[in-house]
Protein backbone atom coordinates (compact mmCIF):
# COMPACT_ATOMS: atom_id res chain seq x y z
CA UNK A 1 0.00 0.00 0.00
CA UNK A 2 1.35 3.43 -0.97
CA UNK A 3 1.04 5.77 2.03
CA UNK A 4 1.77 8.75 -0.29
CA UNK A 5 4.53 10.02 2.02
CA UNK A 6 7.19 10.98 -0.52
CA UNK A 7 7.92 14.70 -0.62
CA UNK A 8 6.74 15.28 2.95
CA UNK A 9 8.51 16.01 6.24
CA UNK A 10 7.36 14.98 9.71
CA UNK A 11 8.67 15.94 13.13
CA UNK A 12 9.09 12.95 15.47
CA UNK A 13 9.72 13.88 19.08
CA UNK A 14 11.31 11.11 21.11
CA UNK A 15 12.37 9.63 17.78
CA UNK A 16 15.69 8.14 18.86
CA UNK A 17 14.21 4.99 20.37
CA UNK A 18 11.02 3.12 21.17
CA UNK A 19 7.74 4.00 19.51
CA UNK A 20 8.96 7.25 17.97
CA UNK A 21 11.94 5.53 16.40
CA UNK A 22 9.75 2.72 15.04
CA UNK A 23 7.48 5.28 13.40
CA UNK A 24 10.41 7.21 11.94
CA UNK A 25 11.69 4.00 10.37
CA UNK A 26 8.39 3.41 8.58
CA UNK A 27 8.17 7.03 7.41
CA UNK A 28 11.70 7.09 6.00
CA UNK A 29 11.25 3.69 4.34
CA UNK A 30 8.12 5.10 2.69
CA UNK A 31 9.98 8.11 1.28
CA UNK A 32 9.26 10.80 3.88
CA UNK A 33 11.85 13.09 5.45
CA UNK A 34 11.93 13.22 9.25
CA UNK A 35 13.31 15.37 12.04
CA UNK A 36 13.88 13.16 15.08
CA UNK A 37 14.49 14.60 18.52
CA UNK A 38 16.18 13.12 21.55
CA UNK A 39 17.43 14.33 24.90
CA UNK A 40 20.98 14.71 23.58
CA UNK A 41 22.35 15.92 20.27
CA UNK A 42 24.56 12.83 20.09
CA UNK A 43 21.71 10.33 20.38
CA UNK A 44 19.61 12.28 17.89
CA UNK A 45 22.44 12.51 15.34
CA UNK A 46 23.18 8.79 15.67
CA UNK A 47 19.51 7.92 15.14
CA UNK A 48 19.33 10.17 12.06
CA UNK A 49 22.41 8.51 10.55
CA UNK A 50 20.92 5.06 11.04
CA UNK A 51 17.54 6.11 9.66
CA UNK A 52 19.09 7.55 6.52
CA UNK A 53 20.43 4.10 5.69
CA UNK A 54 16.96 2.56 6.00
CA UNK A 55 15.10 4.07 3.09
CA UNK A 56 14.81 6.82 0.48
CA UNK A 57 13.78 9.53 2.94
CA UNK A 58 16.17 11.92 4.68
CA UNK A 59 16.61 12.31 8.44
CA UNK A 60 17.92 15.08 10.70
CA UNK A 61 18.51 14.71 14.43
CA UNK A 62 18.20 17.46 17.02
CA UNK A 63 18.74 17.33 20.77
CA UNK A 64 15.86 19.04 22.60
CA UNK A 65 13.87 18.69 25.79
CA UNK A 66 10.10 18.91 25.25
CA UNK A 67 9.84 20.96 28.45
CA UNK A 68 12.03 23.72 26.96
CA UNK A 69 9.87 26.56 25.58
CA UNK A 70 12.42 26.91 22.76
CA UNK A 71 11.97 23.28 21.64
CA UNK A 72 9.29 23.92 18.98
CA UNK A 73 11.38 26.49 17.13
CA UNK A 74 14.47 24.27 17.33
CA UNK A 75 12.53 21.42 15.75
CA UNK A 76 11.11 23.62 13.01
CA UNK A 77 14.53 25.11 12.28
CA UNK A 78 15.97 21.60 11.86
CA UNK A 79 13.36 20.91 9.17
CA UNK A 80 14.68 23.68 6.95
CA UNK A 81 16.10 22.26 3.72
CA UNK A 82 13.91 19.15 3.84
CA UNK A 83 10.62 18.57 2.05
CA UNK A 84 7.63 20.71 3.13
CA UNK A 85 6.44 20.00 6.68
CA UNK A 86 3.22 18.02 6.68
CA UNK A 87 2.85 16.92 10.28
CA UNK A 88 4.27 15.57 13.50
CA UNK A 89 4.24 12.59 15.81
CA UNK A 90 4.38 14.06 19.30
CA UNK A 91 5.65 11.42 21.69
CA UNK A 92 5.89 12.75 25.21
CA UNK A 93 7.76 9.87 26.82
CA UNK A 94 6.99 8.22 30.11
CA UNK A 95 6.74 10.26 33.31
CA UNK A 96 8.14 8.79 36.53
CA UNK A 97 6.32 5.72 37.76
CA UNK A 98 4.86 5.65 41.25
CA UNK A 99 1.69 5.46 43.28
CA UNK A 100 -0.34 8.61 43.81
CA UNK A 101 0.71 8.88 47.45
CA UNK A 102 4.41 8.68 46.52
CA UNK A 103 4.56 11.34 43.79
CA UNK A 104 6.04 14.68 44.86
CA UNK A 105 4.81 18.11 43.78
CA UNK A 106 8.10 18.62 41.95
CA UNK A 107 7.55 15.45 39.92
CA UNK A 108 4.05 16.59 39.00
CA UNK A 109 5.28 20.03 37.90
CA UNK A 110 8.19 18.64 35.89
CA UNK A 111 5.97 16.05 34.20
CA UNK A 112 3.29 18.64 33.41
CA UNK A 113 5.90 20.82 31.67
CA UNK A 114 7.32 17.93 29.66
CA UNK A 115 4.31 15.68 29.02
CA UNK A 116 1.44 18.16 28.76
CA UNK A 117 2.60 21.71 28.16
CA UNK A 118 5.63 20.68 26.06
CA UNK A 119 3.45 18.58 23.76
CA UNK A 120 0.91 21.37 23.44
CA UNK A 121 3.60 23.94 22.53
CA UNK A 122 4.99 21.70 19.78
CA UNK A 123 1.52 21.00 18.40
CA UNK A 124 0.70 24.72 18.24
CA UNK A 125 3.96 25.47 16.43
CA UNK A 126 3.35 22.73 13.87
CA UNK A 127 -0.21 23.95 13.29
CA UNK A 128 1.17 27.42 12.58
CA UNK A 129 3.32 26.00 9.78
CA UNK A 130 0.61 23.72 8.39
CA UNK A 131 -1.78 26.64 8.08
CA UNK A 132 0.61 28.12 5.51
CA UNK A 133 0.94 24.94 3.47
CA UNK A 134 -1.08 24.65 0.27
CA UNK A 135 -3.66 21.87 0.65
CA UNK A 136 -3.28 18.67 -1.34
CA UNK A 137 -6.65 17.02 -1.98
CA UNK A 138 -8.05 19.26 0.73
CA UNK A 139 -5.45 18.32 3.38
CA UNK A 140 -2.65 20.45 4.78
CA UNK A 141 -1.23 17.88 7.18
CA UNK A 142 -1.71 15.73 10.26
CA UNK A 143 -0.64 15.56 13.89
CA UNK A 144 -0.67 12.47 16.08
CA UNK A 145 -0.08 12.34 19.83
CA UNK A 146 1.48 9.20 21.33
CA UNK A 147 -0.40 8.75 24.61
CA UNK A 148 -1.19 5.50 26.41
CA UNK A 149 -3.93 3.05 27.28
CA UNK A 150 -4.08 5.00 30.58
CA UNK A 151 -6.31 7.42 28.67
CA UNK A 152 -9.16 4.93 29.01
CA UNK A 153 -8.18 2.96 32.11
CA UNK A 154 -5.68 3.73 34.88
CA UNK A 155 -2.55 1.61 35.28
CA UNK A 156 -1.20 0.66 38.71
CA UNK A 157 1.86 2.69 39.81
CA UNK A 158 1.54 5.12 36.90
CA UNK A 159 -0.28 7.93 38.69
CA UNK A 160 1.21 10.80 36.67
CA UNK A 161 0.41 9.13 33.37
CA UNK A 162 -3.11 8.39 34.63
CA UNK A 163 -3.54 12.07 35.42
CA UNK A 164 -1.99 13.86 32.45
CA UNK A 165 -2.60 11.71 29.37
CA UNK A 166 -6.42 11.82 29.43
CA UNK A 167 -6.16 15.61 29.35
CA UNK A 168 -3.98 15.48 26.25
CA UNK A 169 -6.44 13.10 24.61
CA UNK A 170 -9.16 15.72 25.07
CA UNK A 171 -6.85 18.42 23.68
CA UNK A 172 -6.27 16.24 20.61
CA UNK A 173 -10.02 15.82 20.11
CA UNK A 174 -10.62 19.56 20.54
CA UNK A 175 -7.87 20.31 18.03
CA UNK A 176 -9.38 17.83 15.57
CA UNK A 177 -12.74 19.58 15.79
CA UNK A 178 -11.27 23.05 15.45
CA UNK A 179 -8.68 22.37 12.76
CA UNK A 180 -10.65 20.01 10.55
CA UNK A 181 -12.17 22.85 8.50
CA UNK A 182 -8.62 24.03 7.70
CA UNK A 183 -7.62 20.61 6.39
CA UNK A 184 -5.52 19.58 9.42
CA UNK A 185 -6.20 16.20 10.99
CA UNK A 186 -5.39 15.40 14.64
CA UNK A 187 -5.43 11.93 16.15
CA UNK A 188 -3.91 10.12 19.10
CA UNK A 189 -2.54 6.63 19.62
CA UNK A 190 -3.01 4.62 22.80
CA UNK A 191 -0.28 1.97 23.01
CA UNK A 192 -0.61 -0.85 25.50
CA UNK A 193 2.10 -3.37 26.36
CA UNK A 194 4.58 -2.96 23.52
CA UNK A 195 8.14 -4.28 23.77
CA UNK A 196 9.98 -1.03 24.54
CA UNK A 197 12.55 0.01 27.12
CA UNK A 198 9.83 1.91 29.00
CA UNK A 199 7.59 -1.15 29.33
CA UNK A 200 10.54 -3.26 30.44
CA UNK A 201 11.49 -0.67 33.07
CA UNK A 202 7.99 -0.65 34.55
CA UNK A 203 7.82 -4.46 34.55
CA UNK A 204 11.23 -4.72 36.23
CA UNK A 205 9.85 -2.86 39.26
CA UNK A 206 7.49 -5.76 40.04
CA UNK A 207 8.37 -8.22 42.80
CA UNK A 208 8.50 -11.02 40.20
CA UNK A 209 9.03 -9.44 36.75
CA UNK A 210 8.69 -12.74 34.87
CA UNK A 211 5.39 -13.56 36.57
CA UNK A 212 4.16 -10.01 35.98
CA UNK A 213 4.92 -10.33 32.28
CA UNK A 214 3.14 -13.67 31.99
CA UNK A 215 0.08 -12.20 33.70
CA UNK A 216 0.17 -9.15 31.42
CA UNK A 217 0.39 -11.30 28.30
CA UNK A 218 -2.55 -13.40 29.48
CA UNK A 219 -4.65 -10.25 29.76
CA UNK A 220 -4.07 -9.45 26.07
CA UNK A 221 -6.44 -11.18 23.64
CA UNK A 222 -3.49 -11.77 21.28
CA UNK A 223 -1.56 -13.29 24.23
CA UNK A 224 1.65 -11.35 23.57
CA UNK A 225 3.30 -7.97 23.80
CA UNK A 226 3.22 -5.80 20.72
CA UNK A 227 6.24 -5.10 18.55
CA UNK A 228 7.44 -1.50 18.03
CA UNK A 229 7.22 -1.99 14.27
CA UNK A 230 3.51 -2.76 14.61
CA UNK A 231 2.97 0.53 16.39
CA UNK A 232 5.13 2.36 13.86
CA UNK A 233 3.02 1.09 10.98
CA UNK A 234 -0.19 2.26 12.67
CA UNK A 235 1.26 5.69 13.47
CA UNK A 236 2.66 6.22 9.98
CA UNK A 237 -0.72 5.33 8.50
CA UNK A 238 -2.54 7.88 10.70
CA UNK A 239 -0.09 10.59 9.64
CA UNK A 240 -0.31 9.72 5.96
CA UNK A 241 -2.76 10.93 3.31
CA UNK A 242 -3.97 7.32 3.12
CA UNK A 243 -5.83 8.05 6.40
CA UNK A 244 -7.29 11.25 4.98
CA UNK A 245 -10.78 10.72 6.44
CA UNK A 246 -9.61 9.87 9.97
CA UNK A 247 -9.49 12.66 12.54
CA UNK A 248 -10.41 12.92 16.21
CA UNK A 249 -9.60 9.22 16.63
CA UNK A 250 -7.98 7.76 19.76
CA UNK A 251 -6.62 4.52 18.34
CA UNK A 252 -5.78 1.71 20.78
CA UNK A 253 -2.68 -0.23 19.73
CA UNK A 254 -2.87 -2.76 22.51
CA UNK A 255 -3.70 -6.19 21.13
CA UNK A 256 -7.38 -5.83 22.01
CA UNK A 257 -7.09 -5.00 25.71
CA UNK A 258 -9.22 -1.85 25.68
CA UNK A 259 -12.92 -2.31 26.30
Q: The whole model's pTM is what?
A: 0.93
Q: How many other CB atoms are there within 10 angstroms of residue 188's CB atom?
A: 26
d(CA 56, CA 251): 28
The per-residue pLDDT for 6 is 95
44: Cβ–Cβ under 8 A, 6 or more apart, which residues? 15, 16, 36, 37, 38, 61, 62, 63
Question: Exposed (0-12), middle (13-18) or buried (19+): which is 63, by Cβ within 10 Å?
Answer: middle
- HSE of 171, CA atoms in CB hemisphere, 13 A: 21
Contact (Cβ atoms closer than 8 angstroms) between residue 150 and residue 166:
yes
- 8 Å CB contact between 9 and 216: no
35 vs 44: CA distance, rounded Å: 9
Backbone angles phi, psi at 194, to 5 degrees: -115, 140
Q: How much is the pLDDT for 202?
A: 67
Parts of the chain with a pLDDT under 50 = none
Domain 9-196+229-251, what architecture?
A: 3-Layer(aba) Sandwich (3.40)
Q: What is the pLDDT of residues 40-58, one digit of tens each?
A: 999 999 999 999 886 788 9
Q: Return the biggest CA–CA distance within the chain.
A: 55
Q: How far is CA 220 from the centre of its chain?
A: 22
Q: What local confidence, expressed as pLDDT, does residue 134 receive?
A: 95
Amino acid sequence: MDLQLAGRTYLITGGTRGLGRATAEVLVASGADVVVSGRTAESAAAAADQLTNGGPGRAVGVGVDNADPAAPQQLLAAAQGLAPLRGALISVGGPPAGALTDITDEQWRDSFDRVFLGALRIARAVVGVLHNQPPVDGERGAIAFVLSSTVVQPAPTLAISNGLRPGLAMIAKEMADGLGPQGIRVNSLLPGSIETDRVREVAAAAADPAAARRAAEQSVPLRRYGRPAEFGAAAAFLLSPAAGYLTGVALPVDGGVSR
